[in-house]
Structure 1
Amino acid sequence: MGIVLNDRCYPDVDEISVTEDNIDVVSFLTEWFDDREYVVGHTSGSTGTPKKIHLLKSDMEASARLTNEFFGIDTDSVLLLCLSPNYIAGKMMIVRALLAGANLLVVKPSSSPLKEINRSVDFAAMVPMQVQESLSDSVTRNKISYIKQLIIGGAAVSSTLESALSAFPIRCFSTYGMTETVSHIALRELNTAYSGYKALGNITFSQDDRGCLCIHAPHLSNTFFITNDIVRLSGKTSFEWLGRFDNVINSGGIKLFPEEIEKKISELIPDKRFYVTGVLDERLGEKAVLIIEDQNWTQEKIASFMKEVRFILSPYQIPKEIRFVSNFRETYSGKIIRENQE
């Protein structure tokens, strides 16, 4: 099987000259073509320290075929790899290109990966921060249009970012999946009438007694997964994501989903990172508190924000307090760690 990197075909991984930009790609390819049935991966660390996991190559191939079929990826396609191959999203971009015989453009992972791109790309994967940075930079903003199909994963896509992408003639999707499911198993097309995720291939969904998503994935060696994601099912092949079970705030007997609140208020805090969490409260049991990564809000700005938020949120959802911190802690993969507040 040939390897096509940056417009050049290599008959063997040993033929590839190792550079600072492709060293992790070459390392993965070496592992991919060895005699073992698996490659070593790591979970994202969203709920703690990343764990080492063995990913079967047969499962990775099955996952890649689903994606390639959905997006029409073939030997004529150009794919962009701007994510680290140390995590599942980057690994799977390489596998998709290998199986399709597609041309894989490799750029060093950064917050603004399109700076060196000056050509059309059929398929790319980014995290929300990379998309936001690309849109904010005058040099790279119009380069978003070079990408025909873009998947965005690793964190939630804010309503502000989704709206900004609607100005460009590209198909954009938010992904749902995890390392254990070998990348995404469902996609939500942005800026369309339906706000839910739709299954790929023959994947189906159900719920446990907590209302959390259960995944039935016949294409994988492990065919059943129980998640901590609370969802609203629409039949067996689609769902709306409501939030994490472990993040739910029980305030005065009302269940609040922080992620739902965050999406609604994202347009009011477009340039700062933030999250909503629950804090113990004598009267309510728990109260919703907004944590913002900033130290420069004046009392006037806080008052203005609280006035605007009343038009967006229900009375129960409105944060009872706003707290400010200088810097959020992050997981190994760059996700915000929701600190317990007292």
Structure 2
Amino acid sequence: MTNEVTYKNVHNRFKLNGFHLDKDDLCRVSYCLIKEGDAFEKSIGDFLLDWFDNKEYVDLKTSGTTGAPKIIRMDKQKMVNSALATGDFFELSPGDKALYCLPTAYIAGKMMLVRSFILGLDIDFVEPTSNPLARNETKYDFVAMVPLQAQNSLAALKNVKKLIVGGAKMSKELEKSLLKLKNIAVYETYGMTETITHIAAKKIGEKAFSILPNIHISQNENHCLVIDAPKISDELIVTNDLIEIINDNQFVFLGRSDNVVNSGGIKLIPEQIEEKLAALIPSRFFIAGMADASLGEKLILVIEGEKHEVDKAIFKGLDKYEKPKEVFFVTQFLETDNGKVKRKETVESL
């Protein structure tokens, strides 16, 4: 199937906001969006014109999670291959109703558009607000959101069959709320700009991510995930993500190697400690390391919000070395443009 579908195709079942549109129609709509639309509509128009020009690539902006945001050049056919893999994994069919509520500036938003005209989805687009399903009673087969949108849409998700959540870590509270919902399959996704959004997903409540079609995974000497995905990348993608491989198709995400704290020779993975504390701290928080004369790095807990007394009983379930030496409060965490917490910069600001 991949050989037959190219980036020049627009599926004959594709609809945008209820209208059947072919390639020429899409280009005309794009000009209208750029000329007369709101800011979010202009960015949709800009991307569609980029997609249907004569170039075989588009330029994408990374989110800046692990460094300064940068522009990378992405082959359009590889984006098509990614869309096909998503369609296979989530069993999407031509004519399925989808909602597009993500910013077009980043890869996740762009790929929802690409999936729609490659797979033949009937997609509605709305402004990418924090509550995109407000006053919308339409029933959707497939929706992609960031955690904040999912949190604010809990009551409306009764109208959604499949929801994928990515872009930032999902809180335990949100996961519990989503698990209570009936007749909806919710997936947490794993991916980055370089992998053209997700290369793996897991149903919430499960521990291991399952990889999408045509992906191979391994670990390097640092126990970090290495992705071999010839249909979406010409090179191996070496990540900073510490993982445990379950089998050829599944892995468990442990944490980021650049977050690891070496405290007195003991290596601690903040994400695993955060998992233990998740249900006990109502505010946003993270575990990090801070320079220390005797330990090299001391483990600290950073909580978002006004300073208050922290009940030491919350650390009862932690191992000896996992207990923070100090607790700090920050009025508001520093974040990337798309809402990911900048841990290092936030600690430096203390």
Per the normalisation by structure 2, the TM-score is: 0.89
- Alpha-carbon offset, residue 221 of structure 1: 4.0
| Aligned mate of 2:178, from 148, 157, 165 | 165
Deviates more, 1:284-293 or 1:91-100: 284-293
Structure 1 counterpart SS, 2:322: coil
Percent identity over paired residues: 42
Question: Partners in 2 of 1:204 and 1:224 — Cα distance?
Answer: 10
Whether the 8 Å contact between 1:153 and 1:175 is mirrored in structure 2 is yes
Whether the 8 Å contact between 1:32 and 1:39 is mirrored in structure 2 is yes
Structure 1 equivalent of residue 27 of structure 2: 14
| Aligned mate of 1:233, from 245, 268, 279 | 245
Whether the 8 Å contact between 1:158 and 1:263 is mirrored in structure 2 is no
Question: Partners in 2 of 1:177 and 1:152 — Cα distance?
Answer: 11
Whether the 8 Å contact between 1:230 and 1:242 is mirrored in structure 2 is yes
Matches within 5 A, 1:1-342: 1=10, 4-11=15-22, 12-16=25-29, 17-18=32-33, 19-20=37-38, 21-135=40-154, 141=155, 143-169=156-182, 170-192=184-206, 195-270=207-282, 272-297=283-308, 299=309, 302=310, 304=311, 306-311=312-317, 313-338=318-343, 339=345, 340-341=347-348
Structure 2 counterpart SS, 1:205: strand
Whether the 8 Å contact between 1:122 and 1:147 is mirrored in structure 2 is yes
Question: Partners in 2 of 1:156 and 1:265 — Cα distance?
Answer: 15
1:25-74 Cα offsets, whole Å, 9 max, x none, are: 12111111111001111111012221011111000000000001122222
- Alpha-carbon offset, residue 216 of structure 1: 1.0
Per the normalisation by structure 1, the TM-score is: 0.91
Which AA in structure 2 matches 1:28?
A: F
Deviates more, 1:324-333 or 1:238-247: 324-333
1:117-138 Cα offsets, whole Å, 9 max, x none, are: 2111111111112112223xxx
Whether the 8 Å contact between 1:50 and 1:332 is mirrored in structure 2 is no
Gaps of 5+ in 2: 1-9
Deviates more, 1:203-212 or 1:3-12: 3-12
Question: Partners in 1 of 2:89 and 2:243 — Cα distance?
Answer: 24
Structure 2 equivalent of residue 138 of structure 1: none
Question: Partners in 2 of 1:129 and 1:229 — Cα distance?
Answer: 23
Whether the 8 Å contact between 2:261 and 2:268 is mirrored in structure 1 is yes
Question: Partners in 2 of 1:30 and 1:159 — Cα distance?
Answer: 40
Whether the 8 Å contact between 2:93 and 2:120 is mirrored in structure 1 is yes
Which AA in structure 2 matches 1:187?
A: A
Whether the 8 Å contact between 2:83 and 2:115 is mirrored in structure 1 is yes
Question: Partners in 1 of 2:77 and 2:208 — Cα distance?
Answer: 29
Question: Partners in 1 of 2:294 and 2:326 — Cα distance?
Answer: 14
Deviates more, 1:230-239 or 1:33-42: 230-239
- Alpha-carbon offset, residue 283 of structure 1: 3.3
- Alpha-carbon offset, residue 171 of structure 1: 0.8
Question: Partners in 2 of 1:274 and 1:324 — Cα distance?
Answer: 9
Whether the 8 Å contact between 2:244 and 2:254 is mirrored in structure 1 is yes
Count of matched residue positions in the alignment of Structure 1 and Structure 2: 327
Whether the 8 Å contact between 2:18 and 2:123 is mirrored in structure 1 is yes
Question: Partners in 1 of 2:267 and 2:169 — Cα distance?
Answer: 20
Structure 1 counterpart SS, 2:297: strand
Question: Partners in 1 of 2:52 and 2:158 — Cα distance?
Answer: 34
Whether the 8 Å contact between 2:226 and 2:236 is mirrored in structure 1 is yes
Whether the 8 Å contact between 1:216 and 1:223 is mirrored in structure 2 is yes
Whether the 8 Å contact between 2:44 and 2:104 is mirrored in structure 1 is yes
Question: Partners in 2 of 1:96 and 1:115 — Cα distance?
Answer: 24
Question: Partners in 1 of 2:44 and 2:148 — Cα distance?
Answer: 22
- Alpha-carbon offset, residue 116 of structure 1: 3.3
1:135-156 Cα offsets, whole Å, 9 max, x none, are: 3xxxxx2x11211111111111
